[in-house]
Amino acid sequence: MKFSNAFIHTLKESPADAEIPSHKLMVRGGYIKKLAPGIFTYGPLALRAIRKFEKIVREEHDKRGIVELLMPMVHPQELWEETNRWAEMGDGLLKFKNRNGHGFCLGATHEEVITDFVRRDVKSYRDLPVVLYQIQTKFRDEIRPRFGLMRGREFIMKDAYSFDLTSEAAQKSYQMMYECYVAIFRRLGVEFRVVQADTGNIGGSLSHEFQILAENGEDQLLVSTVGDFAANIEVCPAADAQEVPANSAELKAMEKFSTPGLKTIADLSKATGVPEGQLVKTMFFATAEGGDDLKPIAVLLRGSDEVNPVKIKNLLGLANPPLLLTDKEVHQVAGAWPGSCGPVGLKIPVYLDQGVQNLRNYIVGANVDDFHLRNVNHGRDFQVTKVADLRLAREGDRAPDGKGTLKSYRGIEVGHIFYLGSKYSRAMNANYLGVEGKLEPIEMGCYGIGISRTVQAIIEQNHDKDGIIWPTSIAPFHVHICQLDPEDREVLTLADNIYEELAANGVDVLMDDRQERPGIKFKDADLLGMPLRLTIGARGLKEGHIEVVNRRTKEIVKVAPDQVLSHVLAWLKENGR
Amino acid sequence: MKFSNAFIHTLKESPADAEIPSHKLMVRGGYIKKLAPGIFTYGPLALRAIRKFEKIVREEHDKRGIVELLMPMVHPQELWEETNRWAEMGDGLLKFKNRNGHGFCLGATHEEVITDFVRRDVKSYRDLPVVLYQIQTKFRDEIRPRFGLMRGREFIMKDAYSFDLTSEAAQKSYQMMYECYVAIFRRLGVEFRVVQADTGNIGGSLSHEFQILAENGEDQLLVSTVGDFAANIEVCPAADAQEVPANSAELKAMEKFSTPGLKTIADLSKATGVPEGQLVKTMFFATAEGGDDLKPIAVLLRGSDEVNPVKIKNLLGLANPPLLLTDKEVHQVAGAWPGSCGPVGLKIPVYLDQGVQNLRNYIVGANVDDFHLRNVNHGRDFQVTKVADLRLAREGDRAPDGKGTLKSYRGIEVGHIFYLGSKYSRAMNANYLGVEGKLEPIEMGCYGIGISRTVQAIIEQNHDKDGIIWPTSIAPFHVHICQLDPEDREVLTLADNIYEELAANGVDVLMDDRQERPGIKFKDADLLGMPLRLTIGARGLKEGHIEVVNRRTKEIVKVAPDQVLSHVLAWLKENGR
C-alpha cells in the first residue's frame, strides 16, 4: 500500500484523554480515531493488525474442529430474562426499545444467544459434543471508558462456547481451549502468562486468564519462580513467606488503653512498638445484594496484610465482591469511627484471616473512639464465624503448590476461559436425551479473546519513546519503505521495483511516497512501528546500498538492492512471520 | 468439514413466516436461525458463503486502491444532527440513550461517520482523493421485517465512500466503483442487471442499482432489447410504443353527462365505447411534508396508464414520493368522491402527464358524483401547471434512447451507487483548502453492497424444488461427500482419503459422515446445494466407481476413485471457482 492513497495521518500531539502509551500511540499513529467516548473507528492500519490477529485466531480454532458462526449484536429481552442476567448485568448492558416497543439489548456477551441456538437443534446425546465460535463486535456501556481500546464500549471479541454431555467431557473441551489459546498467544510472539482467575459474573467453577505482560496492566499476577503456578492476585491463595508457628503463649488479661489520634496501623505500631504484622485490623463489609439491610460483616487481618474482597465473595457465595462500609455505616455497626473499631462486643459475623489465627494477646480497636484493647484473643474475647484465607497474596509469599516463591507482574487480560457446568443450560432448559432416555442439562464452557484489546495490549508491551514496535505476527505491514529524493528518477524506479518485488513475494509493504522531508518520514516510520524500514535514497544508491533498519533494535544493515528481497525474506522467517 | 462436528441441522418444514423460496430454504437448511423478527444468527454454512462473497468484494476493492477501515455500529446523536438526518430518517433509525443519558443510534448507513473521519484529517487539496470502504453490520428498524435476510433489521453491508476535489473527479470515482461492482457481480456467476435508479433519501443526482434477477424480486426493471438502456421502473422515462401524433381535431363544446355507478376507467370505457387510452383520469396527491395543510395537487393521465409517484417526487423536489389523498380528502378538494373527479374547476395545481398532451375532446369526471364531462380540453377548460413524464413506463414501450423496446424483469437490489456531490460535505463543513487558498467542499460518492442480502438473492435466483443450487463462487463447500455404508471399512477409508486429498488440493469439502440412511443424506445434499455431490458406497466401489452428481443438472458421472481429484479440479476450473 502507498501512503498516497492510504489516508494515513499522524499527529504530533497525544490527545488529552489518553493516559497510557499504547492509547497515545494508536491515536498519534492514526490507528484509531474516537467517535464518542469508548467508541472508535479503526483506521486502515489498525484494521490490518486486527485482521491478522483474527486470522491466527481462526486458524487455531478451525484446526481443532471448532466451527465458526456469527450471532447478532441486537438481542431480545426475553432471552436475557431466562437467565436473570437482564437484571443482574445492570446498566453495563445497554437496553432499549425498538419502534414496536419490544425490549432489546446490545450483546455484551453471547451465552444466552448461543445456548438458545444450540438447544433448538439438540435432541439427543448423539447431537453433542459441539464447540462453536464467532468473531463479532460487542458493546458494554462502561461508565467511564478509558485507555482507548483497552476499556472501550464497542469492541471486537472472539467468543467460543462448548457443549458437552458430561462434566468430564466439558473439562476436556476446556483443556482443548486452553491449549488453543496458548497456541494463539505463542504465535503472536509476545510475553504472556496464563493465570488462575476468578469467574466474575459469568459463573462457573474453573477459569483461567491469558495476560499480556505490561507495566501499565490493570491486573496484578503472581507467578511462581520455580513451578507452574500462576494466578491473578484476586484468587491467589496466600502463604506467608515464613510460616508463623502456632503460638502457645499464655493468654493475658484484656486491657483498654487510650490511643488519642492514632487512626492507622502505622501510627499504632509506632506508638506501641508492636510490629504491624502483630497488630490486628478490623474491616467492615456489606454482604447484602439489594434490599435495605446491609448485612454487615467484620473481617480481621494482620495490620501488614491487605484484604482481598474477591476471596470474601467466594467464601460467602456472593455475586460480586462486597463493598466496604462507609465511615458512617461503620459507626452505626461498631459504635466508633474507623481506626478505633475491633471485634470485641460486635453483634455481626466475624471472619478471621488465617494469618491472625496463630496470634495471641494482640491489639484491636475498642469500639470506643480513641481507645484500643490489648491482650485480645479470639475464642476467649469474641467468637469467630469462620477462619479463612482472606488476604491478598503478595510477591515473596510461598507459592501455594510449595514450589518456589511468588513474583509479581502486571498484565492486561486478553483472554479468559470458563468452565460453566450447567448454569446456563439449567436456566434455559438446554437439555439432551441421554442414552437411558433421561433429560440431562448440557455441560458448557465459554472462552473469550478480546481481539481489539489484544492489539492495543501488544503495543502497550512493545513500544519505545519513538513509537510502536510491532511483532511480525500482526504488524500491519512487514516493511516500511521510506522513499527519499522523490525528484530523483533512479530512486523512484528502484523504490517502485523493490515495492513490487517484495509484494509479489508475499511481503506486506507500506511505501511512504509522500513529498516530505526524510526527517518527517523517519519519524512517522518509527511512530507507525513496522518491523523493518527500508531507506531508499540517492546518497545510498550512489554507494550501491539500501539501508535496512530494524525497528526494535534500531540496528542498520546496508544491503545491495538486488539482495534486499532475500535479506527481508530471511529476516521475516527468523522473526516469526 | 465433517457433519459430525459442524452442527448442521436441517428441517423438514418451512417456518410459517417464510414467504419466498430463498427464505424457506435458508431456514430449512439451517443456514440462518431467527433470534427475533429480522434478526438472524448465521450458521456455519451461511457464514462460509458470506465470507467467500466478502473475499471477492475485498479483492476487487483492494486492487483498485480502495482502502478498508472499520467504523463503529453505535453513533452519537450530534453527528446525525449535523445533516438533519437524525430527524429525517424517522423511526427506521434506532435511537436510544446510554447510561449517561447521551443520545446514540445504531448505524443504518455511515455517511456522517465517514465524513467526520475524513474532515478531521483533510486540510488541503493534497490530502485528496481517497476512497475508503468497510464491511460491517448495520441495523435498520424495519416496521415489518420479512423475506429473511432480504428485508432484515440487522444485516451485513459493504459500504464505500469517495472523496474528491471536483465534481469531474468524483464522477470518475463513481465510474471506477461502477466497474468494480460489475466485476464483483460477474465473478459471482449470477444473472444481474445494472439499472438507472432513484437516489431515495441518500441524496445526490446520479445513481445506479445492481439487481440480481429473480421472479420474486421486489423491484421491476425495464431493459432495452437492443441497446444498453436499463432502469428501475421508478425512474424509467416513458415513451409510448407508438408515438401519439399531435391531434388537430376541432375543439368541441364541453358537455356534462350522467354516469351512474361508473367508478372505474374500465366501466367508463365499456359504457362509452371510448378506449381507455383516450379517457383521462385524475389523481390527487398530498405534497406537504409535515404540517397541517395537505398541499394537494391533481395529476392527469390516460386511463390506460399508471402513475409513477417517484416522478412526481423528482419533478417537485420532494424528499419522498407523495401519498395519494384518501377518499375523504379527495371529496374535500374536488367536491365529489373518487370516480367522478376531474380537473375542471379545481383550485389546486394540475399536472399533466405528457401522454395526455396530444388528446382532444376527452372525458373526465365532472366533480359531481355520478357525472362526467365530455369534450374537455386543457388550456381551454382548465389550466395546466406543468406537462411532464409522470406515468410508469412499461414493457413494450420504446427505449428512451431510441434503441429497441423495453422488456420487463424482476430483480433484487443488492448494490447501489450514488454520486452525492457536496450534500454531506456542505452540511458537515468537510472542506479542503484549494490550490488558490479558498475553502471548497469535498465532492463525495457512496457505494453499497448488501452482503447478507446478496447471498440470499443468489439462492432466490438459484434453486429448484429440492433445494439450493450454489454457484461455485460462493458455495460454502465445493463438494459434498455422501459417505454411505458407514459399517463398511473400505468405504470409510476411501471416503476419508478422498476427503483429505480434495482438501489438500484446496477444494472445500463437506463430508456427511452421519449414521443415516442414503435417502436422508441425498435429500440433505440437495437441500444444502453444494455444486458437486460425491456418492461413495459399497455398491459403486464393487463396480470400481464413485458417483459425481452435478447439483444443477442432476447429471451423474461415474468416476474411478483415483480419477476423482482430477475430475473435480477440472470441473471446478470450468465452473468458475
Rg over CA atoms, chain A: 29
Q: What is the grid cell recorded at B86?
A: 437524525
The reply to whether omega before A129 is within 30° of 0 (cis) is yes
Q: Report CB contact under 8 Å: A33, B91.
A: no
Of A354, A191, A363, A198, give the one whose Cα is nearest residue A268.
Answer: A363
Strand order in the sheet with A556-559: A509-512, A479-483, A532-536, A546-550, A556-559
Out of A7, A65, A75, the one facing B35 most closely (by C-beta) is A75
The Cα–Cα gap between B423 and B202 comes to 9
Q: What is the pLDDT of residue B209?
A: 97
Which residue of chain B is at minimal alpha-carbon distance from A515?
A: B126
Q: What are phi and psi of B486, to 5 degrees?
A: -65, -10
B-chain CB neighbours of A65 within 8 Å are 2, 5
Averaged confidence pLDDT in chain B:
95
Which residue of chain B is at minimal alpha-carbon distance from A130?
A: B5
More confident residue, A541 or B244: A541
| pTM for the predicted model, two decimal places | 0.93
Measured over all CA atoms, what is the biggest interatomic distance in chain A, rounded to whole angstroms?
Answer: 96
Q: Report CB contact under 8 Å: B5, A47.
A: no
Q: What is the pLDDT of residue B204?
A: 65
Q: How far is B506 from chain A (nearest CA, A)?
A: 15
Out of B44, B76, B139, the one facing A67 most closely (by C-beta) is B44
Q: Report CB contact under 8 Å: B36, A6.
A: no
Q: Mind listing the pLDDT tens digit for each residue in B271-308? A: 999 999 999 999 999 998 777 788 999 999 999 999 99
Out of B76, B96, B154, the one facing A73 most closely (by C-beta) is B154
Which residue of chain B is at minimal alpha-carbon distance from A2?
A: B65
B205, pLDDT greater than 90? no
Partners of A308 in the beta sheet?
none
The Cα–Cα gap between B190 and A575 comes to 44
Amino acid at residue number A113: V
The Cα–Cα gap between B555 and A399 comes to 69
Q: Report CB contact under 8 Å: B154, A74.
A: yes
Q: How far is B233 from chain A (nearest CA, A)?
A: 31
Q: Report CB contact under 8 Å: B94, A94.
A: no
Q: How far is B447 from chain A (nearest CA, A)?
A: 18
Q: What is the pLDDT of residue B203?
A: 62
Mean pLDDT of B429-458: 97
Out of A68, A96, A100, the one facing B44 most closely (by C-beta) is A68
- Taking the CB of residue A560, how many other CB atoms lie within 10 A of it? 10
B-chain CB neighbours of A139 within 8 Å are 73-74
Q: What is the grid cell recorded at B160?
A: 464505500
Q: What is the pLDDT of residue B201?
A: 64
Domains along chain A with CATH numbers: 14-237+407-460 (3.30.930.10), 255-388 (3.90.960.10), 477-574 (3.40.50.800)
pLDDT, tens digit only, all 577 positions of chain A = 999 888 999 999 999 999 999 999 999 999 999 999 999 999 999 999 999 999 999 999 999 999 999 999 999 999 999 999 999 888 999 999 999 999 999 999 999 999 999 999 999 999 999 999 999 999 999 999 999 999 999 999 999 999 999 999 999 999 999 999 999 999 999 999 999 998 776 666 799 999 999 998 999 999 999 988 999 999 999 999 988 888 888 999 999 999 999 989 999 999 999 999 999 999 999 998 777 789 999 999 999 999 999 999 999 998 889 999 999 999 999 999 999 999 999 999 999 999 999 999 999 999 999 999 999 999 999 999 999 999 999 999 999 988 899 999 999 999 999 999 999 999 999 999 999 999 999 999 999 999 999 999 999 999 999 999 999 999 999 999 999 998 899 999 999 999 999 999 999 999 999 999 999 999 999 999 999 999 999 999 999 999 999 999 999 999 999 999 999 999 999 997 7
Chains A–B, number of C-beta pairs less than 8 Å apart: 144
pLDDT level of residue B233 (50, 70, 90 thresholds): very high
B182, pLDDT greater than 70? yes
CB-CB contact of A186 with A458 (8 Å): no
Q: How far is B340 from chain A (nearest CA, A)?
A: 39
Q: Report CB contact under 8 Å: B47, A35.
A: no
Q: Give the DSSP H or E segment for B537.
A: none
Which residue of chain B is at minimal alpha-carbon distance from A5?
A: B130
pLDDT level of residue B486 (50, 70, 90 thresholds): confident
Which residue of chain A is at minimal alpha-carbon distance from B30?
A: A121
The Cα–Cα gap between A165 and B116 comes to 51
3-class secondary structure, B111: helix
Q: How far is B134 from chain A (nearest CA, A)?
A: 10
Q: What is the pLDDT of residue B202?
A: 63
Which of B62, B74, B133 best tests the A interface by mutation, with the highest count of A CBs <10 A? B74
Q: What is the grid cell recorded at B136?
A: 460491517
User: B169 Cβ partners below 8 Å, 6+ apart?
Assistant: B129, B443
Which residue of chain A is at minimal alpha-carbon distance from B47?
A: A69
B-chain CB neighbours of A98 within 8 Å are 94, 141
Q: What is the pLDDT of residue A248?
A: 84
Q: Report CB contact under 8 Å: B44, A69.
A: yes
Q: Report CB contact under 8 Å: A41, B70.
A: yes
Which residue of chain A is at minimal alpha-carbon distance from B139?
A: A74
Out of A42, A102, A137, the one facing B69 most closely (by C-beta) is A42
Q: How far is A534 from chain B (nearest CA, A)?
A: 22
3-class secondary structure, B267: helix
Q: Mind listing the pLDDT tens digit for each residue in B518-555? A: 999 999 999 999 999 999 999 999 999 999 999 999 99
Q: Mind listing the pLDDT tens digit for each residue in B24-34? A: 999 999 999 99
Q: Report CB contact under 8 Å: A7, B121.
A: yes
The Cα–Cα gap between A462 and A192 comes to 12
CB-CB contact of A50 with A77 (8 Å): no
Q: Report CB contact under 8 Å: A43, B69.
A: yes
Which residue of chain B is at minimal alpha-carbon distance from A44?
A: B69
A-chain CB neighbours of B43 within 8 Å are 69
Q: Output DSSP code: residue B68.
A: E
Q: How wide is the angle at C-alpha A456 spanned by C-alphas A444 and A548, nearest 5°? A: 130
Which residue of chain A is at minimal alpha-carbon distance from B10?
A: A121
Mean pLDDT of B126-154: 95
Q: What is the grid cell recorded at B67?
A: 482502502
B236, pLDDT greater than 90? yes
CB-CB contact of B529 with B510 (8 Å): no
